[in-house]
A = this chain, B = another copy of it.
């Protein structure tokens, strides 16, 4: 029996609207081209600004902007090291681990999708 409202999991239109808002909240925080990629990279351990820039292939200007936003949202910490020359380490916060499921789900899907695409070629 088909359901009248616009969602499967939620029971009411109101819950449905809220579910969509949640999705959009997530997209506001980790949407865009870089944030999830940066988190994915940092899951391997803290990195310095330059290293991160090289690793991700992202220009310093954009990287700086992304990291600031991620710091505001509590996803990374910024630590200035007392070295010469000064270096800055970026590290994921424990809170960022709550995104694991999202990232892993996207890893998995991308892998399967690529296999599907390759299969279709022949």
A: residues with CB less than 8 A from B are: 2-3, 5-9, 16, 18-27, 29, 31-33, 36-37, 40-41, 43-45, 55, 95, 98-99, 101-114, 116
Pull 13 A–B residue pairs with CB atoms less than 8 Å apart, ordered by A.
A3-B44, A3-B45, A6-B45, A20-B41, A21-B110, A22-B109, A22-B111, A26-B106, A26-B110, A27-B33, A29-B113, A31-B32, A101-B109
Known contacts A6-B44, A44-B3, A109-B101; is-contact A37 B23 (Cβ 8 Å): yes
A109-B102 contact, Cβ under 8 Å, with A16-B44, A44-B16:
yes
A41-B98 in contact given A22-B107, A103-B23 (Cβ < 8 Å) = no
* A109 close to B105 (CB less than 8 A): no
Chain B residue nearest to A7 (CB atoms) is B44
**Nearest CB to that of A45 among chain B residues?**
B2
CA distance A108 to B82 in the complex (A): 39
Q: CB-nearest residue of chain B relative to A47?
A: B6
Q: Contacts of A43 on B, CB cut-off 8 Å?
A: 6-8
> Contact at B105–A98, with CB atoms within 8 Å?
no
